[in-house]
């Protein structure tokens, strides 16, 4: 009797184990949907293309921006269904410096040099996730120091200019922690009077486009 009971017990355990394996294995093999929720840090690199426009008593000048740009970024996402809401900040090197054209000796233009060493943005992001793919739009505040070295007045001034940034891109999570993206931003730092002349405004407007790639680590 004991041997029969032992046989049935061993058989029952074997069958139970087989059923459990059949249940667990498919569940373990199922793909878990990717979640974009979390904090992240990263780096970006690309190109900036635009111009700095100057105007003084109707005398125009323009300095074309065409430079490498790169920097660091930090942000956070929250996913609700397929919608992803986020906030992101970045600080970026630009290193742009160029004379206004036409210059003072080029037919009545401005005699000055414009430079922008760096710029930053704080933006909101809205995306719609297709599992590990995230197309998104972004908009927020842009800021940067614009320096004008005025040759006629012999004075150099730096102004902190603020404006806006808008754009969009697509991001892909190629692992649970790492993402890569391609992004376009239009950055407008607004118009500022540099005050070289106490009577007439010396207005300077800075705007440029940024095309860049970024790599980020999500915690």
pLDDT value at 84 more than 50: yes
Name the more confident of 9 and 109: 109
pLDDT tens-digit readout, 104-139? 766 678 899 999 999 999 999 999 999 999 999 999
Question: To the nearest whole number, what is the mean pLDDT of the chain?
Answer: 87
What burial letters (b/e) apply to 44-73, b meaning 16+ CB within 10 Å? bebebebbbbbbbeebebbbebebebbbeb
pLDDT tens-digit readout, 48-77? 999 999 999 889 999 999 999 999 999 999
Read off the pLDDT band of 8 (50, 70, 90). Answer: very low
Question: What's the whole-number mean pLDDT along residues 11-40?
Answer: 60
Is the pTM above the cut of 0.75?
yes
**CA within 13 Å, CB half, 161:** 30
Q: Of 7, 79, 69, give the one whose Cα is nearest residue 43.
A: 69
Q: Of 183, 55, 79, give the one whose Cα is nearest residue 127.
A: 79
């Amino acid at each position: 009797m004991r041997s029969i009971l032992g046989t049935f017990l061993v058989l029952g355990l074997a069958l139970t184990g087989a059923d459990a394996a059949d249940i667990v294995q498919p569940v373990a093999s199922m793909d878990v949907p990717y979640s974009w929720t979390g904090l992240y840090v990263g780096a970006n690199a690309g190109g900036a293309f635009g111009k700095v426009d100057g105007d003084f008593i109707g005398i125009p000048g323009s300095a074309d921006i065409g430079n490498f740009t790169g920097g660091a970024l930090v942000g956070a996402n929250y996913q609700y269904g397929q919608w992803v809401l986020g906030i992101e900040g970045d600080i970026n090197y630009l290193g742009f410096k160029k004379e206004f054209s036409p210059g003072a000796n080029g037919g009545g233009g401005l005699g000055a040099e414009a430079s922008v060493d760096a710029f930053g943005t704080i933006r909101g992001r809205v995306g719609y996730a297709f599992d590990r793919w995230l197309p998104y739009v972004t908009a927020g505040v842009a800021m940067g120091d614009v320096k004008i070295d005025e040759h006629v007045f012999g004075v150099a001034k730096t102004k902190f200019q603020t404006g806006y940034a808008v754009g969009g891109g697509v991001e892909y999570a190629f692992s649970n922690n790492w993402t890569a993206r391609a992004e376009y931003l239009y950055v407008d730092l607004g118009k500022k009077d540099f005050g070289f002349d106490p009577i007439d405004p010396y207005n300077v407007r800075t705007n440029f486009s940024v095309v860049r790639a970024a790599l980020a680590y999500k915690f």
